[in-house]
Amino acid sequence: MVPYDIRVIGDPVLTQRASEVTDIDSTVAALVDDMFEVMYDAPGVGLAAPQVGVSRRIFVYDSDERAGVLINPVIAETDGEWEFVEGCLSIPGLHWSVVRPRTVLLRGVDLDGNAVELEATDFEARIFQHELDHLDGVLLTERLTEEQRRDAKRALLDLTLGSPAVPPSGGLQLP
Ligand code: ZN
């Protein structure tokens, strides 16, 4: 059994800004191990800590080219534009075509506390941007055009109502 359930849209932890990791201790290392397990089990190509209910600035990824963890990541540079059909483990079953920068340069630290710089393009850059959004409490639904949101409204409502984590008066608010 995987150590965590993946939180689904409607869960408040997914819309909070996650806090910086100040102390990279054994708790963080254990969390990262668990996050990899959850990501591979899903299966997914990236997973951010808030998706397992932990509001900390950590994500793991495996783009096929490389795999790793980034702690306290920031986007230092972006370039170009790229349209790609994107999904999210926290919005199961739904996908949308979304435009984002094609290339990104990320900075953060690894599990040993060493500074890391990652440059990525296309698919891998998309993973990084998507996971970084999660750390800022931004879900894929906020990247949609108004038309995409309108079309998705019913399906999203079903998802939030189906989630046990939804607060009674909460749920999705789409314009
Ligand atoms: Zn996601």
Q: What is the per-residue pLDDT across 29-44, written as a single tens digit (0 to 9) for each? A: 999 999 999 999 999 9
Would you place residue 113 in the very low, low, confident or very high pLDDT band (cuts 50, 70, 90)? very high
Q: Give me the pLDDT at residue 154, please.
A: 85
CA 138 / ligand 1 centre spacing (Å): 9
Evaluate if pTM is beyond 0.85. Answer: yes
CA 89 / ligand 1 centre spacing (Å): 5
CA 91 / ligand 1 centre spacing (Å): 7
Is 77 one of the catalytic residues? no
- The residue ranges of every structural domain in the chain are 12-160
The Cα–Cα gap between 175 and 13 comes to 21
Query: Exactly one of 83, 124, 131, 142 is catalytic; which is it?
Result: 131
Percent of residues, the chain, with pLDDT higher than 70? 92
Both tokens of 41, joined, read 């089990």
Residue 92: strand, helix, or coil: coil
Would you place residue 167 in the very low, low, confident or very high pLDDT band (cuts 50, 70, 90)? very low
Report how far apart, in Å, the C-alpha atoms of 57 and of each of 63, 126, 173 are. Answer: 19, 18, 25
CA 22 / ligand 1 centre spacing (Å): 24
**Which CATH topology does 12-160 take?**
Peptide Deformylase (3.90.45)
The Cα–Cα gap between 155 and 83 comes to 22
